[in-house]
Chain A
């Protein structure tokens, strides 16, 4: 049995992961609402895998330009690579010569291939990178190497994301609900889409160290998708998503510093915990509250039956 002082030591030892956990949970959950409601799940998957290519590029660049061989530059280069890939996906599929999902699939595979190739090339060059690269850690996440710098970067990113969403809350809702209509009403949809893609890329880069490229998509999708089953108000979905994200990642971080989970990468624990929340909510919705999401509530059916009430059209 662990004594209290042992426990405090454990907490002190893992103070950075314990701080980073809720932060990335929060920012992933915020972005997740838009990813889910705008049906950008596949895009987020593509962008997260592009991060693998970004790491490869960062590591190789760091060999030739030694000033780039530190954690901050690695994050910056990876983030830029993710954003570049995201914009390329959008650009290639814009004129509909290639469908969007095909473009995402193509760039996803290509950037993972680039990453793997560049990392292998780096191995053949003399001397290892200052920060070691472990493919398993890249794919499934790693806590041990979370540093003060990572915590600070994650905090700044979260702050940026929160500020952007708070400032452009209504604009984001509008382009999510109906992009064409928003454009007609004078909303700069191109700029907002770019900001959204940038936020997705940034968040992915910040979270990758903890949960890994393969697992990050879950963090970008599950909180939003689960919250969408819980509320029919945008604000409600938003709050539910943040709660799910923060609780899920915090619990996962706490679990992953104690045996027997401490030997595993944290990514699977985060994903499985979030998945458990999703499964419980889905089952609750499916078996105990079988009302489909679009069926009129009893109140509305009543309104429709009122004589003189307008619209006998079918609801969906």
Chain B
């Protein structure tokens, strides 16, 4: 199946139907306005504008080195933007995150040392550290909160196990419990499905969606795992230094994916090959030239992700 060459002006393919670029007053829980960030002289993010609505599930996808983690760190207040502003529930990111009752954060799994001698319950209790009285211990009510969080992620029966012995999915649940123990309104997840196998991922995402519903959360998920994003998110932002596209995953067209992932595409999707002309690779650091990109219909993929030569609203097919 051959695709016709696609011509897209760089950095302007924001879906007009998407609400991610629009500020909608109090509906927005996260407002990122024209944010740029550079490591020394190397730009990591340029002119990012993003407004996340209350109750939505935003997936941020993009290639390695595309700035996903940088954007996450900015939203968590770990680093400060060079220009532009970020507000989370009307506060600065630092303020919003240190409180704990506004923002919960589930970090990428592998950054932790798993031989660490600590029990599941203790890990979850640490989430309450901002609420602890100086010199005091944790109150009975706080201990009950810990138990409730463990029950919410169905980990209460393993509460006294050392965390190092749990499986990938179980450990991820523990970290969600730690993020939930303060009853936050927004939950950030960094590569949540890394290290969980296929069967586990599906269950994991189902649990996440249930938690979102019962606790009325807004979810922001950073992932290079397209499947998990497509399966669970109702809005998607593709990040490769600039924000390339944002809309519901159904609007994600193969050409946008190709543009964002560039060479990564082969690793992400396979089967049905199709060719791209160099004109679709107008990205400033893109390897220009015909590229082989292949697609596989994902088990839960919306129609737009299945290989189709039909253009979406954004695609312009050149005149014959």
Give the residues in chain A near B98, CB-CB below 8 Å. Answer: 184-186
In the assembled complex, how far is the CB of residue A98 from the closest CB belonging to chain B, in whole angstroms? 15
Assess whether B154 is in contact with A310, with CB atoms less than 8 Å apart: yes
Q: Which A residues from 161 to 219 make CB contacts under 8 A with B?
A: 167, 170-171, 173-174, 176-178, 180-187
CB contact under 8 A between A310 and B126, given known A177-B116, A299-B161, A300-B166: no
The interface stretch among B21-29, B195-203, B227-235 is B195-203
Within 8 Å by CB of B78, from A178, A183, A293, A316, lies A183
Within 8 Å by CB of A167, from B111, B112, B134, lies B134
Assess whether A184 is in contact with B126, with CB atoms less than 8 Å apart: no
A3 on the interface (CB 8 Å rule)? no
In the assembled complex, how far is the CB of residue B250 from the closest CB belonging to chain A, in whole angstroms? 28
Assess whether B167 is in contact with A304, with CB atoms less than 8 Å apart: yes
Assess whether B126 is in contact with A296, with CB atoms less than 8 Å apart: no
Roughly how many angstroms separate A309 CA and B257 CA in the complex, as a whole number? Answer: 35
Roughly how many angstroms separate A316 CA and B125 CA in the complex, as a whole number? Answer: 23
Roughly how many angstroms separate A314 CA and B195 CA in the complex, as a whole number? Answer: 7
CB contact under 8 A between A310 and B169, given known A173-B126, A234-B118, A300-B158: yes
The interface stretch among B99-107, B262-270, B279-287, B311-319 is B99-107
In the assembled complex, how far is the CB of residue A60 from the closest CB belonging to chain B, in whole angstroms? 41
Interface string of B92-133 (1 = CB under 8 A from A): 000001111000010100011111111100110111011010
Give the residues in chain B near A236, CB-CB below 8 Å. Answer: 117
Within 8 Å by CB of B165, from A180, A185, A233, A296, lies A296
Q: Which A residues from 275 to 316 make CB contacts under 8 A with B?
A: 293-297, 299-300, 303-304, 310-316
A228 on the interface (CB 8 Å rule)? yes
Assess whether B195 is in contact with A232, with CB atoms less than 8 Å apart: no
Assess whether B130 is in contact with A186, with CB atoms less than 8 Å apart: yes
A237 on the interface (CB 8 Å rule)? yes
Assess whether B169 is in contact with A174, with CB atoms less than 8 Å apart: no
In the assembled complex, how far is the CB of residue B211 from the closest CB belonging to chain A, in whole angstroms? 13
Assess whether B97 is in contact with A310, with CB atoms less than 8 Å apart: no
In the assembled complex, how far is the CB of residue A316 from the closest CB belonging to chain B, in whole angstroms? 5
A231 on the interface (CB 8 Å rule)? yes
Chain B minimum-CB-distance residue to A303: B158
Assess whether B105 is in contact with A184, with CB atoms less than 8 Å apart: yes
Assess whether A293 is in contact with B112, with CB atoms less than 8 Å apart: no
Give the residues in chain B near A231, CB-CB below 8 Å. Answer: 117
Within 8 Å by CB of A315, from B113, B118, B126, B165, lies B165
Assess whether B116 is in contact with A174, with CB atoms less than 8 Å apart: no
CB contact under 8 A between A296 and B166, given known A167-B135, A312-B197: yes
A243 on the interface (CB 8 Å rule)? no
Assess whether B200 is in contact with A313, with CB atoms less than 8 Å apart: yes
Assess whether B204 is in contact with A311, with CB atoms less than 8 Å apart: yes
Give the residues in chain B near A19, CB-CB below 8 Å. Answer: none
Chain A minimum-CB-distance residue to B154: A310
CB contact under 8 A between A170 and B167, given known A178-B112, A228-B117, A303-B158: no
Assess whether B105 is in contact with A233, with CB atoms less than 8 Å apart: no
Q: How many residues of B contact A (CB 8 A)?
A: 50
Chain B minimum-CB-distance residue to A188: B98
Assess whether A181 is in contact with B161, with CB atoms less than 8 Å apart: no
Q: Which A residues from 35 to 52 make CB contacts under 8 A with B?
A: 37
Give the residues in chain A near B86, CB-CB below 8 Å. Answer: none
Assess whether A312 is in contact with B129, with CB atoms less than 8 Å apart: no
In the assembled complex, how far is the CB of residue A15 from the closest CB belonging to chain B, in whole angstroms? 35
Roughly how many angstroms separate A19 CA and B55 CA in the complex, as a whole number? Answer: 63
Chain A minimum-CB-distance residue to B158: A303
- Most chain B beta-carbon neighbours within 10 Å: one of A181, A234, A304: A181
Within 8 Å by CB of B200, from A183, A185, A299, A312, lies A312
Within 8 Å by CB of B129, from A180, A187, A304, lies A187
Roughly how many angstroms separate A308 CA and B302 CA in the complex, as a whole number? Answer: 28
Assess whether B117 is in contact with A232, with CB atoms less than 8 Å apart: yes
Assess whether B116 is in contact with A37, with CB atoms less than 8 Å apart: yes
Roughly how many angstroms separate A310 CA and B203 CA in the complex, as a whole number? Answer: 7
Assess whether B122 is in contact with A173, with CB atoms less than 8 Å apart: yes
Assess whether A310 is in contact with B117, with CB atoms less than 8 Å apart: no
Within 8 Å by CB of B127, from A185, A232, A295, A299, lies A185
Roughly how many angstroms separate A237 CA and B172 CA in the complex, as a whole number? Answer: 24
Assess whether B78 is in contact with A303, with CB atoms less than 8 Å apart: no
In the assembled complex, how far is the CB of residue B126 from the closest CB belonging to chain A, in whole angstroms? 5
Give the residues in chain B near A299, CB-CB below 8 Å. Answer: 161
Roughly how many angstroms separate A272 CA and B119 CA in the complex, as a whole number? Answer: 33
In the assembled complex, how far is the CB of residue A309 from the closest CB belonging to chain B, in whole angstroms? 9
Assess whether A232 is in contact with B196, with CB atoms less than 8 Å apart: no
Within 8 Å by CB of B107, from A178, A233, A312, A316, lies A178
Assess whether B164 is in contact with A294, with CB atoms less than 8 Å apart: yes
Assess whether A182 is in contact with B111, with CB atoms less than 8 Å apart: no
Give the residues in chain B near A178, CB-CB below 8 Å. Answer: 107, 111-112
In the complex, the 4 A-B pairs of residues with the closest C-beta atoms, listed nearest first: A311-B169, A186-B98, A313-B168, A232-B162
What are 20 A-B interface contacts by the 8 Å CB criterion?
Answer: A180-B78, A181-B107, A184-B78, A186-B98, A186-B129, A233-B119, A293-B115, A294-B164, A295-B165, A299-B161, A300-B161, A304-B167, A310-B169, A311-B200, A312-B167, A312-B197, A313-B196, A315-B165, A315-B167, A316-B164
Q: What 6 additional pairs, Cβ within 8 angstroms, besides A37-B113, A183-B78?
A: A170-B129, A185-B126, A232-B164, A312-B200, A313-B170, A314-B167
